[in-house]
Amino acid sequence: MEIDEKLKELADLLISGKHLETESLTKELIEMGVEPKLILDKGLMEGMAVVGQRFRDQQMFVPQVLVAARAMKFSMKIIDPLMVGEQNKSKGKILIGTVKGDVHDIGKNLVGIMLQGAGYEVIDVGTGISAEKYLEEYKKNKVDLIGLSALLTTTMLYMKDIIEYFKKEQINVPIIVGGAPLNKKFADEIGADGFGRSAYEAVHLVDSILHKN
């Protein structure tokens, strides 16, 4: 019971972006012998899910999202090295980036943090990424899935070019898309393998594509 309450407190600290308190409660939970995976799932991920929800409902704004993400990073620094062994081995390699012409990376970074938290190895190639660069990074890193992010109605159109480029090069890797101006209909129209409305949804989407059973 005490542990459940502390995990709830951890989620609340993360939501309010109190990074130092988040860090020290994470340490305390580890010292109490709580599994890092439980801290991640029941504390951090639940907190971030609330952050995503509140941002969508306009109850939270960009600066608050950023401080929550920072709090998550502080906690992850402690639990990451402890998450070793079979149970926590990587669930797959994901390449993420924001498309060419677009510098928005806050959402993409959140997606990266959440995927990492969910057990994926994330290769973040940054912003302004061309189809050629995605392909180069795909070949270099041999990833299982690619995630494209775009925040502008102009740059989201380039996602189609990327998907078509991969098809032309006969590279068969799942490509998912996300970003505020997108929707499922657009993702279907450009031939993407999925659309994530939020970082939280992105994790479920990747799980459903790479771990169907």
Residues lying near ligand B1M in the complex (CB under 6 A): 52, 55, 62, 65, 96, 101-108, 110-111, 147-149, 151-153, 176-181, 196, 198-199, 202
Rounded Cα–Cα distance for residues 123 and 72 (Å): 18
Rounded to the nearest whole angstrom, what is the least distance from the CB of residue 138 to ligand B1M in the complex?
14
**Planar angle of CA 130, 133, 136, nearest 5 degrees:** 155
- Yes or no: say if 146 and 196 are a contact pair by the CB < 8 Å rule: no
Rounded to the nearest whole angstrom, what is the least distance from the CB of residue 115 to ligand B1M in the complex?
9
Is 34 or 51 the residue whose CB approaches ligand B1M more closely?
A: 51
Rounded Cα–Cα distance for residues 88 and 188 (Å): 33
Rounded to the nearest whole angstrom, what is the least distance from the CB of residue 19 to ligand B1M in the complex?
17
Rounded Cα–Cα distance for residues 108 and 178 (Å): 8
Is 90 or 154 the residue whose CB approaches ligand B1M more closely?
A: 154
Is 29 or 200 the residue whose CB approaches ligand B1M more closely?
A: 200
Is 25 or 155 the residue whose CB approaches ligand B1M more closely?
A: 155
Q: Which two tokens stand for residue 130?
A: 């061309």
Strand, coil or helix: what is 99? strand
| Phi, psi (deg, nearest 5) at residue 192 | -75, 160
Rounded to the nearest whole angstrom, what is the least distance from the CB of residue 182 to ligand B1M in the complex?
7
